[in-house]
C-alpha cells in the first residue's frame, strides 16, 4: 500500500514538477507490476524528485538514518514517505539498509538505486558498484535500468532547488528489465551500467566516481 504522505507529495510537489518542467518520459511500460530495482545514472539531487514525479508507483528511496531518530520534522516526513534508512558510516551499517530493502522488494515494491554511489562530478557515467546486483539477487527481483538527462542543468551540485533554464529538458528513459541472477556481481553490474549508458547517452568512465564530501548525496 502506498503511504498517504507519498500520495499527497506526488499530487503536489510531483504535479508542480511535471507542470513546471514537463519532463519527457519513455519506456514506463518496462517497469514490471511486481518488485524491481530502478537503477540509473546520478547527475543531481533532482534525480530523485523527478523520478518520483514521473513513475506512477511508490518508490522506496534511501534516506540518512539520522532522519529516523527522534521526532524531528524531517524524520516524520521521510518515514511518512516510506523511505529506507541507511547509515553513512559504511561497513555492516550499509548492509543493514540493504536488508531493510529486501522485504520491500519481495512484497512487490520498487526501490531506487544509483550504482555510481554518488553524483557524477562532470556529467560522465562512472563505474557502478555491485550493491544493486547483490540486492536484486537477495530479493529475487530484476533490475530496470534508466537514464536521465537534464537534471544537472536545472539543479547543478551547488544549487539547493531546481530552477527554470531556457531550453533545458529533463528526459527519463527506462529500459527492459535485466535478470542479474547469473554470472559474477561485477559482470552483471557492468551489463547494467552498459544499458544505463545506452539510455543516458553519457560518456563512460571505467573507474569509480570521486565521492562528494559527507553531507551531499
Count CB neighbours of 91 within 10 A: 8
Count CB neighbours of 27 within 10 A: 16
Strands 171-174, 204-205: pairing is: unpaired
pLDDT tens over the chain, length 217 residues: 899 999 999 999 999 999 999 999 999 999 999 999 999 999 999 999 999 999 999 999 987 777 777 666 777 888 889 988 876 555 565 667 788 899 999 999 999 999 998 899 999 999 999 999 999 999 999 999 999 999 999 999 889 899 999 999 999 999 999 999 999 999 999 999 999 999 999 999 999 998 754 344 4
CB neighbours of 73 closer than 8 A, spacing ≥ 6?
A: none
Which set of grid coordinates corresponds to residue 192? 547494467
Q: What is the pLDDT of residues 167-180, one digit of tens each?
A: 999 999 999 999 99
Amino acid at each position: 500500500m502506498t503511504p498517504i504522505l507519498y500520495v499527497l507529495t506526488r499530487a503536489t510537489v510531483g504535479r508542480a514538477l511535471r507542470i513546471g518542467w514537463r519532463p519527457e518520459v519513455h519506456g514506463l511500460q518496462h517497469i514490471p507490476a511486481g518488485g524491481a530495482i530502478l537503477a540509473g545514472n546520478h547527475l543531481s539531487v533532482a534525480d530523485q524528485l523527478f523520478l518520483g514525479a514521473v513513475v506512477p508507483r511508490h518508490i522506496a528511496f534511501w534516506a540518512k538514518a539520522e532522519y529516523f531518530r527522534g521526532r524531528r520534522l524531517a524524520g516524520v516526513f521521510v518515514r511518512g514517505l516510506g523511505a529506507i534508512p541507511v547509515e553513512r558510516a559504511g561497513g555492516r551499517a550499509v548492509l543493514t539498509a540493504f536488508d531493510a530493502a529486501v522485504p520491500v522488494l519481495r512484497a512487490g515494491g520498487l526501490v531506487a538505486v544509483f550504482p555510481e554511489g554518488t553524483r557524477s562530478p562532470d556529467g560522465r557515467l562512472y563505474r557502478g558498484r555491485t550493491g544493486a546486483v547483490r540486492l536484486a539477487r537477495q530479493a529475487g527481483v530484476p533490475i530496470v535500468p534508466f537514464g536521465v538527462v537534464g537534471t544537472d542543468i536545472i539543479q547543478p551540485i551547488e544549487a539547493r532547488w531546481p530552477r527554470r533554464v531556457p531550453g533545458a529538458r529533463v528526459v527519463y528513459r527506462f529500459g527492459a528489465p535485466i535478470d542479474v541472477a547469473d554470472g559474477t556481481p561485477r559482470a552483471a553490474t557492468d551489463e547494467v551500467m552498459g544499458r544505463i549508458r545506452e539510455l543516458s547517452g553519457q560518456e563512460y568512465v571505467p573507474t569509480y566516481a570521486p565521492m562528494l564530501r559527507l553531507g551531499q548525496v
